[in-house]
Chain A
Amino acid sequence: MNQVIVKAVGLGTLAVMVVLGAWRQPHAADAKTPYPSMAPLDQYLIADRDVEIALARSAAPESISRDAEVMVLGRHGYETAVKGKNGFVCVVERSWTAGIDDPDFWNPKLRGAICFNAPAARSYLPLTIKKTEFVLAGQSRVKMFESLKDAFDRKELPALEPGSMSYMLSKQAYLSDADGHWHPHLMFFVPQTEAAAWGANFPGSPILASVNPEDRMTVFLVPVAKWSDGTADAN
């Protein structure tokens, strides 16, 4: 991965790096997304509940995810499928946690397996649940972000807790059409700040960042060497 030409594209929790080469235009120019609106709900659901539980857990090493709470997406939102006992919560996020301009925003194939530590489960996960609630109520992308702004303004969403972080080490995840499962990585959620505060996105830096004004946060990403199953990242 050439980090000199890598740009962090804010996809909410589905923070994926896109290599900006001559072969690909920046997202803002991707006017012709193949996913202009929400697909039928069934396309976002995983029919086999056990498969979704396993996918969610694959976001972190088994030593962490086996004792985690697991939530799965149903027709009316996320629901607890497995009670946990270590404070971590694993879920499979869908495309609408992407950034407002992301061409994959309505891509029904996206599967963002993620395990949150306890502070992130308390202070970040409510954002995912709230977005999902808006989307399942039939809101458009623009309307969803308007509703999100209202929710923030009414303080219906908690402030990010210090130390909020997550694992995204699933080889089975699908984070975008362009990058597939991308690389195994950790994510750190902090109140909105500049990427430079952590030295992120500079040439040679191992830290990438996505500043997400709509979510009122900055997400820092650190790629790591191995997937949750212990195999090495080939790239």
Chain B
Amino acid sequence: MNRTTGRMIALRSFALVLVLSASQTWGEDAKTAFLTMAPIDQYLMPDRNAEIALARSAAPESISRDAEVWVLGRHGYETAVKGKNGFVCIVERSWMAPFDDPEFLNPDQRLPLCLNPPAARSHLPLTFKMTALALAGLSGTQMFDGIKAAFDKKELPMPEAGSVCYMMSKQQYFGRKYGNADPHLMFWVPKTDDTFWGAGLPGSPVYVHQYSPEPITEFIISVAKWSDGTDAPTD
């Protein structure tokens, strides 16, 4: 990962680093390929155990084995495994991407993450809300408005202090453009400047994503290994 030329592309609750190069192109067809919802079955995982395993792969086994696990059903997320350490693991779908992301409704995306207790309490309501809006068949514009209204009316919580999330699954898939990206940690804070953590500056190991319309800032730090202990690719 070339951090001098790298740019962080964040997908609401998931983020990745990509290297910009002259040779890297993004097909014009793909820019408009995922603007409408595909049939719901394409977003679901038919094997519940596979989804549980994928969710757990977001964090080292020492953390995820005792975590609560949620899986996506036809009517939203539901608890599949009760936890006992306060962490929650879940596989988010593409509608957690920014609204203007070309792969906003790419049904292939699988984004496993494990959230610590403050993050589980304060971020998952956003995931559930977005999912409800997506499953209701709303357009991107309607979803945007719905999320904005929810925050305006304080129906969705702000990030709690110490909200941390693991995204270390080698099986994570961000879509055609970014593949499985790299393992990383994410930290959510109430909306603040990029420079609050020195993020996004040349040489900084901290990347940042400013949510919209949510009043949330996400800081991202890449880590060296996948959850299975294998090394992540460098540069």
A contact residues vs B (CB 8 Å cutoff): 60-64, 86-88, 115, 117-119, 162-163, 165, 167, 169, 184, 186, 190, 193, 196-199, 202-207, 222-226, 228, 230, 232
Contact = CB atoms under 8 A, between A and B. Distances in A.
B87 interface: yes
B117 to A, nearest CB: 7
Interface string B161-188: 1101010100000000000000101000
B201 A63 contact: yes
Contacts of A167: 198
Contacts of B225: 204, 206
B196 A222 contact: no
Chain B interface extent, by class: 35 or more
B185 A162 contact: no
Majority secondary structure of chain A interface residues (helix, strand, loop or mixed): loop
B32 interface: no
B172 to A, nearest CB: 15
Given A117-B197, A197-B116, A230-B203, 16 more contacts: A60-B198, A61-B201, A62-B203, A63-B198, A64-B201, A64-B204, A117-B198, A163-B192, A186-B205, A198-B116, A199-B116, A204-B63, A205-B63, A206-B223, A222-B223, A225-B222
Nearest to A224: B205
B130 to A, nearest CB: 24
B133 interface: no
B224 interface: yes
B15 to A, nearest CB: 15
A62 to B, nearest CB: 7
Majority secondary structure of chain B interface residues (helix, strand, loop or mixed): loop
Contact of B204 (A61, A162, A197, A206): A61
A223 B232 CA distance: 14
Interface string B34-74: 00000000000000000000000001111100000000000
17 contacts: A62-B202, A87-B195, A163-B197, A169-B205, A186-B205, A186-B206, A202-B62, A204-B60, A204-B227, A205-B59, A206-B183, A207-B185, A222-B185, A223-B224, A225-B1, A225-B234, A226-B3
A17 B86 CA distance: 26
B168 to A, nearest CB: 8
Contacts of B221: 186, 222, 224
A24 to B, nearest CB: 23
B208 to A, nearest CB: 12
Contacts of B234: 225, 232
A61 B203 contact: yes
Contact of B197 (A165, A199, A224, A232): A165
Nearest to A201: B62
A197 B141 CA distance: 37
B166 to A, nearest CB: 7
A26 B162 CA distance: 29
B150 interface: no
